[in-house]
């Protein structure tokens, strides 16, 4: 069959507030088009379905009809069934069949995974983690996500929920978390936590004006809490690198030397030696890019065409 049409994988990244999407050329992994809109996640899953439909329609208008769709979503995702079981920061999400919705709406094979799993795959295949066998990605956004590549493969665990590092508890009697636990990292080191601790000031503002006394206090608590969590994480997984993504990581960049120093003082010397703690390459696109890469890996265009 002769065709000149590009095979395109669409990657959709559903966050608490934003829906990010890219069209990826399957042949050479070039990003052909990208867009970002409100995810409407707080208004319920049907609104997200509408936002996904609108995004895919726009790609089609630009001539990028997908052969495959990959979807990254925050929360506990079953990658086999493509069902989002729960998502602590999305109101009312319970057993949402995203894969089924996508395949019914877009008529192409679709794959769903946790958004941070997608993000770590993007960094591992095309970003700062290229060539590494053991990689931890932390996404510092509205919440804190975690993704793990261990022994050269994406590690999902028994139920697909592994790597929820934002829900590593750092204070046994700390803030209650929607996940059911207390004192989770996410309650202290996410964008929404920084906003709360700074008295309704955005993390961007806090990091842009570190001389304001209240901001300085919030930043110093952030460094201490984040370094404590990182120490546990690196002692557990012994990675080659920890990469930091998400919009809050941009503000954290200036404090990486302090964070590296604290971790190297607290972690096992063998673990700390040679450990890289760096910003991720794809600050904003890693979720959508990784979702597209996972879709390419899991579902071949040819298999669909012959089915």
**Which residues contribute to the site for Zn ion (CB under 5 A)?**
167, 177, 179, 181, 184
DSSP-derived pairing of the beta strands 83-86 and 31-38: unpaired
Compute the least distance from the CB of residue 170 to Zn ion, in Å.
11
Compute the least distance from the CB of residue 44 to Zn ion, in Å.
22
| Residue 179 or 234 having the CB closest to Zn ion | 179
| Cα–Cα distance list, 218 to 134, 187, 212, 215, 279 (Å) | 31, 13, 10, 5, 21
Residue in 65, 6, 59 with CA at minimum distance from that of residue 36: 59
Compute the least distance from the CB of residue 177 to Zn ion, in Å.
3
| Residue 23 or 184 having the CB closest to Zn ion | 184
| Residue 120 or 179 having the CB closest to Zn ion | 179
Compute the least distance from the CB of residue 75 to Zn ion, in Å.
11
Residue in 58, 75, 46 with CA at minimum distance from that of residue 20: 58
| Residue 130 or 176 having the CB closest to Zn ion | 176
260 in helix, strand or coil?
A: helix
| Residue 10 or 184 having the CB closest to Zn ion | 184
CA distance 218 to 183: 16
| Residue 100 or 175 having the CB closest to Zn ion | 175
| Residue 23 or 179 having the CB closest to Zn ion | 179
Token pair for 267: 């972690």
Within 13 A of 25's CA, how many CA atoms are on the CB side? Answer: 10
266 in helix, strand or coil?
A: helix
Compute the least distance from the CB of residue 157 to Zn ion, in Å.
16
Please return the burial class of 300, using the count of CB atoms within 10 Å of its CB with bins 0-12, 13-18 and 19+.
Answer: middle
Compute the least distance from the CB of residue 182 to Zn ion, in Å.
8
> CB–CB of 32/64 below 8 Å?
yes
Compute the least distance from the CB of residue 226 to Zn ion, in Å.
15
> CB–CB of 163/186 below 8 Å?
no
């Amino acid at each position: 069959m002769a065709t000149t049409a590009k095979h395109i994988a669409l990657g959709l990244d559903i966050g608490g507030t934003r829906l990010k999407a890219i069209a990826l050329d399957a042949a050479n992994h070039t990003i052909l088009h990208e867009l970002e809109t409100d995810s409407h996640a707080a208004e319920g899953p049907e609104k997200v379905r509408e936002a996904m439909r609108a995004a895919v329609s726009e790609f089609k208008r630009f001539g990028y009809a997908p052969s495959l769709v990959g979807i990254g979503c925050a929360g506990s995702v079953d990658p086999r069934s493509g069902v989002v079981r729960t998502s602590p920061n999305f109101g009312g999400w319970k057993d949402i069949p995203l894969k089924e919705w996508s395949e019914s709406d877009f008529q192409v094979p679709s794959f769903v995974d946790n958004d941070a799993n997608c993000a770590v795959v993007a960094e591992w295949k095309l970003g700062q983690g290229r060539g590494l066998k053991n990689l931890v990605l932390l996404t510092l956004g509205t919440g804190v996500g975690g993704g793990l590549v261990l022994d050269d493969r994406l590690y999902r665990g028994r139920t697909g929920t592994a790597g929820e590092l934002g829900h590593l508890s750092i204070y046994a009697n700390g803030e209650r978390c929607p996940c059911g636990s207390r004192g989770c990292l996410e309650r202290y080191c996410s964008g929404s936590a920084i906003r709360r601790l700074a008295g309704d000031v955005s993390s961007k503002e806090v990091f842009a004006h570190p001389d304001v006394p209240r901001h300085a206090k919030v930043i110093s608590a952030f460094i201490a809490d984040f370094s404590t969590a990182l120490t546990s994480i690196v002692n557990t997984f012994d990675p080659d690198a920890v990469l930091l993504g998400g919009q809050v990581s941009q503000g954290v960049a200036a404090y990486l030397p302090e964070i590296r120093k604290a971790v190297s003082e607290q972690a096992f010397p063998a673990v700390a030696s040679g450990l890289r703690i760096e910003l991720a390459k794809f600050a904003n696109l890693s979720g959508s890019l990784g979702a597209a890469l996972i879709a390419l890996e899991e579902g071949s265009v040819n298999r669909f065409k012959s089915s």
